[in-house]
């Protein structure tokens, strides 16, 4: 074979299940950006309010939580204004839950595309996490505006230097959603019932995560169970950083980081294994 006819790119069918192929993913970064843009634009283009749903949804949910959990159930908010307490939890939870649920259907939802053209399959779950991050940025902006009002006109919240730790918290949530999503996405290619189980499970998972209540409101003997949830320390740290309530525990964050990294590794292994043959079962 002459130099002129030698191929410039090779597609290998065999690779380690531990391989992330990050170099190849980087080479397809234009596709990643295109998918993020497509998801962000097309999802709301046929709705009346369009992207305003990014703002309306968390605000309406906050109002409902204030009525149900704040005024009827009278759950503690650690002395933080209810609107800020619930809005902070909703903003963080929405990013995790949306990233997880959408990533969990990446194989079944994109089977047609996967069967027609080659590209690093990891592009799809990464595009979902990135797209959800854009929506999180919009909702976080709303939270920041409300927080700024309370900081200027009241003395009820006390943001601190740990706000600079926010990118790490977001990264941990993205890794957890990505890892769990890849596990469920891989399993649902054979076991379709897991789709319904996940939808129900995510709703239940919210109630063992301090979204609508602070950990301090729980009996002392049950708190360690909540802290076994890797998201608990993330939510507590987020509220501690921006609202001055809750607690910041480096050991809890370390536990969450180790557990989430483990889940991401397991998810990657399963995802890489299933992507080679999932078209036979979808």
Q: How does pLDDT run along the chain (282 residues), one tens digit per residue?
A: 555 555 555 555 545 555 556 677 778 788 888 888 777 676 666 665 566 777 888 899 999 999 999 999 999 998 899 999 999 999 999 999 999 998 888 877 766 676 677 777 788 888 889 989 988 998 999 999 999 999 999 989 999 999 999 999 999 999 999 999 999 988 887 777 777 788 889 989 999 999 999 988 888 888 888 889 999 999 999 999 999 987 778 888 999 999 999 999 999 888 888 876 654 445
Chain Cα centroid distance, residue 84: 20
CA–CA distance, 248 with 233 (Å, rounded to integer): 8
Task: Enumerate residues 6+ apart whose C-beta is below 8 A from 57.
Answer: 94
As a whole number of angstroms, the distance between CA 171 and CA 53 comes to 24
HSE-CB at 206 with a 13 A cutoff on CA atoms is 19
86: DSSP letter:
H
Q: What is the pLDDT of residue 34?
A: 85
Region class of 28: left (phi > 0), else alpha (psi between -120 and 50), else beta: alpha
Q: Token match 């078209």: residue?
A: 279
Q: Is the pTM of this model over 0.75?
A: yes
């Amino acid at each position: 074979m002459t130099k002129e006819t030698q191929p410039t790119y090779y597609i290998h069918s065999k690779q380690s299940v531990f391989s992330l192929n990050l170099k190849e993913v980087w080479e397809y970064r234009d596709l990643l950006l295109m998918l993020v843009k497509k998801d962000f634009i097309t999802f709301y283009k046929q709705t009346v309010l369009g992207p305003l749903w990014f703002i309306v949804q968390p605000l309406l949910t906050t109002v409902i939580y204030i009525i149900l959990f704040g005024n009827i159930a009278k759950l503690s908010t650690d002395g933080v204004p209810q609107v800020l307490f619930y809005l902070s939890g909703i903003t963080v939870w929405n990013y995790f839950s949306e990233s997880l649920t959408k990533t969990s259907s990446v194989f079944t939802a994109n089977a047609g595309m996967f069967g027609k053209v080659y590209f690093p399959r990891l592009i799809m779950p990464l595009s979902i996490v990135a797209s959800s991050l854009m929506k999180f940025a919009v909702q976080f902006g709303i939270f920041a505006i409300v927080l700024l009002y309370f900081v200027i006109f009241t003395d009820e919240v006390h943001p601190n230097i740990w706000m600079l730790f926010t990118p790490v918290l977001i990264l941990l949530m993205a890794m957890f959603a990505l890892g769990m999503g890849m596990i469920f996405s891989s399993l649902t290619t054979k076991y379709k019932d897991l789709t319904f189980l996940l939808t129900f499970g995510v709703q239940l998972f919210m109630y063992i995560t301090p979204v609508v209540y602070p950990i301090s409101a729980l009996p002392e003997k049950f708190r360690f169970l909540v802290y076994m949830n890797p998201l608990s320390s993330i939510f507590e740290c987020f509220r501690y950083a921006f609202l001055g309530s809750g607690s910041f525990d480096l050991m809890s964050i370390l536990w969450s980081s180790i557990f989430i990294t483990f889940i991401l590794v397991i998810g990657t292994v399963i995802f890489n294994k299933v992507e080679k043959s999932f078209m036979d079962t979808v």
